A and B are shown apart, each in its own frame.
Chain A
Amino acid sequence: AQSVAQPEDQVNVAEGNPLTVKCTYSVSGNPYLFWYVQYPNRGLQFLLKYITGDNLVKGSYGFEAEFNKSQTSFHLKKPSALVSDSALYFCASRPPSGYSTLTFGKGTMLLVSP
């Protein structure tokens, strides 16, 4: 069985500072991992994914994520936060074969203050 954990309900960061949103996973085999962002009253927007290869994955809007197999983590990062990055962030996993179904973490609210 797969599971994804986002240990922080909320992350607060000042604009211009680096941000990290944490995600750990428990997946049998090699995982496919994703990050999505949700703005108020909107659907989920795809940010980036890890399939295989380089542990540092670059995505949309300047976000990147680092896959760490030994720590079973896939933290989302951005070097310099913007107020407009304030949103709800979801980490998700999918098995490497079979169905496309995503298993989501509970989400982390990111608040970037001016």
Chain B
Amino acid sequence: KAGVTQTPRYLIKTRGQQVTLSCSPISGHRSVSWYQQTPGQGLQFLFEYFSETQRNKGNFPGRFSGRQFSNSRSEMNVSTLELGDSALYLCASSTGLAATNVDTQYFGPGTRLTVL
């Protein structure tokens, strides 16, 4: 089974621009979660999508948004980029069936975003 894929792997943008990151989950997984990883803040949860609906959201400004398509692929968008948005953005997929003990999150390789 193919793992979680994220594109692009690396991005360089300038302040004020916007960016869209893409994530394709493991086949059969309906939940996609996004995390931001920085040296200072560690791993922070952005949001989770399940069956095309956002069902959980972290404490990030509205500049960070996402969506999920009917094939479970997800995109994350950051508008009006700031220097502090430079980070590794990780996507994780799972079945989304939180009540079961098989619901493990599997992570993609991440997208390294650099904002200049």
Contact = CB atoms under 8 A, between A and B. Distances in A.
Interface of A: 32, 34, 36, 41-46, 49, 51-52, 90, 94-95, 97-107
B55 interface: yes
A87 B44 CA distance: 19
Contacts of B98: 94-95, 97-100
Contacts of A36: 107
B41 to A, nearest CB: 9
Nearest 5 Cβ contacts at the A-B interface: A43-B107, A104-B43, A44-B107, A51-B101, A99-B56
Nearest to B45: A101
A43 B48 contact: no
B108 A43 contact: yes
- Which secondary structure dominates chain B's binding surface? strand
Contact of A46 (B6, B104, B109, B110): B104
Contacts of B33: 100-102
Interface in B29-43: 31, 33, 35, 42-43
Contacts of A94: 98
A99 B55 contact: yes
Contacts of A46: 104-107
Contacts of B45: 101-103
Nearest to B4: A43
Interface residues of B, number: 28
Contacts of B43: 90, 102, 104, 107
22 contacts: A32-B101, A36-B107, A43-B4, A43-B6, A43-B110, A44-B92, A94-B98, A97-B98, A99-B55, A99-B56, A99-B98, A100-B31, A100-B94, A100-B96, A100-B98, A101-B48, A101-B56, A102-B33, A102-B43, A102-B45, A104-B42, A107-B42
